[in-house]
Amino acid sequence: MLFPPTDSRIVARRTEIVAALKAIVPDGVVADKSGLSTFDTDAFSAYHQMPLVCVLPSNREQVSAILKYAQGEGVPIVPRGAGTSLSGGALPREDGILIGMGRMKRILEIDYENGCLVVEPGVTNLNITKAVEASGFYYAPDPSSQVACTIGGNVAENSGGLHCLKYGLTTNNLLGVTMVLPGGEIVTLGGKAGCQGGLDLLGLVTGSEGLLGVVVEVIVKMLRKPPVTRTLLASFNSVPAAGQCVAAIIGDGVVPAAMEFMDRRCAEAVEAYNQPGYPAGAEAILIMDADGVEADVSDAVSRITDIVARCGGVTVEATDEKQRTRIWSGRKAAFAAMGRLAPDMICMDGTIPRHALPQVLDEMAKLSEQYGLGFCNVFHAGDGNLHPLIIFDMMKPGEFDKAEAFGADILRLCVKVGGVLTGEHGVGVEKRDLMTDMFTAEDLAQQGRVKCAFDAQGLFNPGKVFPTLSACVEQGHVHVHGAQLPHPHLPRY
């Protein structure tokens, strides 16, 4: 994998850079080795890299001053929320300032009349819902990491979650952002009424993976909690039967609030981990929520139950809130439970058209045999967003490389059947070198020009998303070229 090379001239100026940042944020600069080591990776934990320095601003003026300074001095910037990115989006640079947004975590306004909240970027996803749940409202996108991940990170990754099938991803629940551009200018895109005409810059910034600026304020929609939610657990004695059932339910016009798939290996690991009560021996299970008003929910439940039976499955319904929570607790613990199967794991993230599900599940099983590595399937089935978990042992020579190659083949397969490289985890460093499998050179050059329009010097999160930034050269700006990524598990400092 390629990574823009470290600029040793910047590393040599570390003392001076630390002093300049301390002048901007006197109580928020982490420069000691042990402090920095807590930031040397994100949830794509195969790769480690100590940052040059980490700065933790408390307000947008400080962010602006930091970015102005960094641009003036040509120092790279890596934005960071909670560091739960699964694609290495927040991986620091040896010659770069890591700007951690965790201190900016105030809920600034709850506006019931306009149905929205105004929050700082470091607020966790779950705390947005907690701020309004007593009044019967919530924030819909619910990543499994919601207890930790920040709304700034959610905007940057266009994050999804269990209930995005019906309620959409971050982009569908976002009304506006205020961000600081690489030169320090503060701009607001959208607002309480959303984007009104003109270029959809809010859409452009959503999912831009920290490449265009730092988000310092977010306006999100709040929704009223549905009056009724019922949870169904369907079990199948074959994976293709479960895949066909997903297609049949969606084809029938039912839109469950959530529809999650787990294969036998995953369900068994989860059962051993936190005993959610999944049926023993099932080759695949689907967990589904139907929500809304009573009549609609009853109709959806009876149609889903019929379709499951026609596909050869068996449906059980949660009898009360306690059982609902228990069933979902298993799904939410799926990543943690995989730790029982092997010491290391990579969570892939590709999206496919739903009709291709049986074919892709079958081909993934063949790839697993070919690579001699175990994997299990857990994914947001309703919207075709796959999260195969590849398990391996980093200490065994060659296993990490094999796991990466297996993962890359899965993503190529997603593209081959008409899907895309990512559904919600982003490209980061993980999928960066696969971008050419999905986009033509012209596509990438055009995307690069958009990046350069915001960040002409290529200082924002260099090495992420783009295989190269040659478009900046075409436009007469700085060229960011390739070199090796820091080696897995070999921190450098």
Stretch that binds ligand FAD, among 22-30, 138-146, 405-413, 438-446 (CB under 6 A): 138-146
3-state SS, one letter per residue, for the chain = CECCCCCHHHHHCHHHHHHHHHHHCCCCEECCHHHHHCCCCCCCCCCCCCCCEEECCCCHHHHHHHHHHHHHHCCCEEEECCCCCCCCCCCCCCCCEEEECCCCCCEEEEECCCCEEEECCCCEHHHHHHHHHHHCEECCCCCCCCCCCEHHHHHHHCCCCCCHHHHCCHHHHEEEEEEECCCCCEEEEECCCCCCCCCCHHHHHCCCCCCCCEEEEEEEECEECCCEEEEEEEEECCHHHHHHHHHHHHHCCCCCCEEEEEEHHHHHHHHHHHCCCCCCCCCEEEEEEEEECHHHHHHHHHHHHHHHHHCCCEEEECCCHHHHHHHHHHHHCHHHHHCCCCCEEEECCEECCHHHHHHHHHHHHHHHHHHCCEEECEEEHHHCEECCEEEECCCCCCHHHHHHHHHHHHHHHHHHCCCECCCCCCCCCCCHHHHHHHCCHHHHHHHHHHHHHHCCCCCECCCCCCCCCHHHHHCCCCCCCCCECCCCCCCCC
Does 79 bind ligand FAD (CB under 6 A)? Our answer is yes
Residue from the set 51, 57, 190, 210 that interacts with ligand FAD by CB under 6 A? 210
What minimum distance in Å lies between the beta carbon of 170 and ligand FAD?
Answer: 8
Residue from the set 54, 149, 254, 414 that interacts with ligand FAD by CB under 6 A? 149
Does 181 bind ligand FAD (CB under 6 A)? Our answer is no
Stretch 88-107 residues interacting with ligand FAD (CB under 6 A): 89-90, 101
Stretch 445-484 residues interacting with ligand FAD (CB under 6 A): 461
Does 152 bind ligand FAD (CB under 6 A)? Our answer is yes
Does 344 bind ligand FAD (CB under 6 A)? Our answer is no
What minimum distance in Å lies between the beta carbon of 477 and ligand FAD?
Answer: 21
Residue from the set 153, 330, 382, 388 that interacts with ligand FAD by CB under 6 A? 153
Stretch that binds ligand FAD, among 86-94, 231-239, 313-321, 365-373 (CB under 6 A): 86-94
Stretch that binds ligand FAD, among 145-153, 249-257, 313-321, 337-345 (CB under 6 A): 145-153
Stretch that binds ligand FAD, among 140-148, 184-192, 267-275, 478-486 (CB under 6 A): 140-148
Does 80 bind ligand FAD (CB under 6 A)? Our answer is yes
Report the residue number, 258 or 438, with the smaller CB distance to ligand FAD: 258
Stretch that binds ligand FAD, among 77-85, 240-248, 353-361, 363-371 (CB under 6 A): 77-85
Does 209 bind ligand FAD (CB under 6 A)? Our answer is yes
Does 161 bind ligand FAD (CB under 6 A)? Our answer is yes
Stretch that binds ligand FAD, among 47-55, 80-88, 108-116, 390-398 (CB under 6 A): 80-88
Q: Count residues contacting ligand FAD (CB under 6 A)?
A: 36
Report the residue number, 205 or 284, with the smaller CB distance to ligand FAD: 205
Stretch 422-441 residues interacting with ligand FAD (CB under 6 A): 424-425
Does 48 bind ligand FAD (CB under 6 A)? Our answer is no
Does 331 bind ligand FAD (CB under 6 A)? Our answer is no
- CB-side neighbour CA atoms (13 Å) of 292: 15
What minimum distance in Å lies between the beta carbon of 197 and ligand FAD?
Answer: 25
- E-assigned strands of 21-80? 29-30, 53-55, 77-80
Interface residue list for ligand FAD (CB under 6 A): 42-43, 78-86, 89-90, 101, 121, 143-145, 149-150, 152-154, 156-157, 159-161, 209-210, 214-215, 335, 424-425, 461
